[in-house]
Structure 1
Amino acid sequence: MIYLDYQATTPLAPEARDAMLKWLDGPDGTGFGNPHSPHRMGRMAAAAVDLARDQVAALFPPGGSVHFTGNACEAINLAMRGTVMKGGQKQGRVAISAIEHAAVRDTAMAIDDPVIMPVDRDGIADTHANLPGDTALVCIMQVNNEIGTVQPVAQIAERAREAGALVLCDAVQGAGKFAAPGGADMIAISAHKIYGPKGIGALWVRDGVDIDPQITGGLQERLRSGTLSTALCAGFGAAAALAAERLEADKALASSLWDRALDLFEGWEVNGSRELRNHANLSIRKDGLDVARLMSDCRDVMFSAGSACASGSGKPSHVLKAIGLSDAQAKSTIRLGWGRYSAVEDLEAAAKVIINAAAQQG
């Protein structure tokens, strides 16, 4: 099988796996301790969590704190509900870009009717979008998960500050691939998108930002209750350290595969900006393409019909609709994604399979 769905999840880095193993049990059987316990085994586990926190914090700007969560969706919910719904009272409106991930979009709609900031045909958010005077929170992603476009976070953050609003940045697709987004008050990321384990994410909070906890209990993470998994934290930390170390090398590989993919899929339409994007993400379409049939005919190639989070809904992607595509164009889109462990030979082999299968549809 050939894996080309790196936006959905990434393989676990060997370095992250090695960092996790000793905290699942360990050669001397002491690695399973509760990191919140005061005895020696607990302190050993707590030290590993502290190291992981420092490693993850290196992906963020200075002047903030890292809080581990179960995933990025939880981090986003904590940030949004914990700032806009203070003490159960709504503090103001939420503004989001038209192409936010469902974790942001659905949470904003659950809080109230959000302000939608439009995007252009390249999938770039409008930095001059109107923000009502009662806007309390602006949500803007760093990199779109479906079409890979890089968003003007710093410029929108400046507009938000002028309106007196906080800024949440979903950096799930940008972490480890780009420098930390500037101007955000809160940033959410996920371990499994940077070659770490599934089941753990993080919320970075700028110093001075007040958030109401959303899970009551022991508040082991100050903003979040629940016993931390030392193994997951250690794996996340190792993956974050490796991502920082390999940032330029990973970007260079992604760019080289992007150039090759454009050659291979000549004649297909690219969705989103070709320049302002993550070049490990290729969203392309071909008029009349039956994507469900294509995926069935290409079972040994792992790719996505637009977004893995929306592939089973049967509805056209709200992201593709936001950039002006028709329902038919949106439904004829596929997304290919590569990363650290991808080889050009695999990309070429996958492209041959996909192109041949598409041609069979007439």
Structure 2
Amino acid sequence: MRSAGRLRLTRPRRRSPVRRLLAWRGWASAPATVGVVVLLAGLYFTAQTLIATQAQSKATQDQVRLAERGQNTDRFGRAIDQLGAEKIDVRLGGVYALEQLARDQPGFVDMAEDVFSAFIRTHAPAHMPCASGTAVDVQGALTAVGRLRQPRETWSYRLEVDLSDTCLAGADLRGAMLQQVDLNGADLSGAELHGAILRRADLSGVRLDGAGLRDVDLESAQLSPVSAQGGDFGGANLRDARLGGSLAGAAFYGTVMTNATGQTVDFTGATFNDTRADALRLARGNFTGITAWSADFSNSYLGGSVFAGANFADVTLRGADLTGAVITAVTFCAYRGDPEDPTCVETSADLSGAVLRNADLTGTPRRLLRLDGADLTEVTGLG
């Protein structure tokens, strides 16, 4: 018999898995957990779909680019074929086709410029005499080059388009962008270059006789030697240009020639009207018979230059170096009325602070020269 006061130990009952599951305290937060799981699964499948879509899109874009590249190559090839045709109208069509390709695809611009320059050199080589009037296909190629090129913010040391030794007499290059173009030895006689950009271009040995050069930009261009007799440089920019050869009879109305340099340049009979030529450096220049009205040659070096028979009207030569210059029989007339009225209105020239050592001023009236502070050492002929 069991004693009445003895404790009885019993084992706790084990609950079944179902009961334990039903008794789980996390049932209260289960909906949130299930929602997170569902959200993460949705994001995963969305990401996989997006990756697949992007891969497919990239593959499509690659195919499109490949197709475009093939089309552009075909367009380029067809244009080259046309440029080599015998008929001039077919060649002109090739010029337009190649220019349009370069406009549509900027990556073809350099190749198009190379092709056009080779085309021009082949179809318009320099020869004597160079007949005036450019063939329509050559003119088309010139126009295309001038339109495709863009102004540069920075400059390289190499010439970028080779148009050297070409016959371009009478060509129309108005407004053309031809900066850093090699025109060495080209014949541009009678050509129209109004407003053209020729900065840093090489025009050595170029013929520009009778050419229209109004408002042309020739800053830092190489123009030595050059023949531009009778050329119209009205409003042109020749700043820092290198000059040489013959500019006889040329017109420089409102032209900027600041810091231009050169030697033995022939300006015989040229006209300088409202010309800014300060700091000009032209040793032994020939200014015989020039007409200079309101021109500024201050601080220029014109040593050994000849101004015989020149007409100065309100000309400034302050601080200029005229060592050994020949300034003989100079007149100081301004014709302010009717151009046909020969009446001379006397003016003067300002040579204040100028260096006139060994200069010859025979026949030039001193009373019309302002010589304050000028160096007149061994000057001859100054009455």
Q: Shorter-chain TM-score: what band?
A: under 0.3
If asked which structure has higher relative contact order (CA below 8 Å, sep 6+), I would say 1
Q: Higher helix proportion, which one?
A: 1
Q: Larger radius of gyration, structure 1 or 2?
A: 2
TM-score (norm 2): 0.18
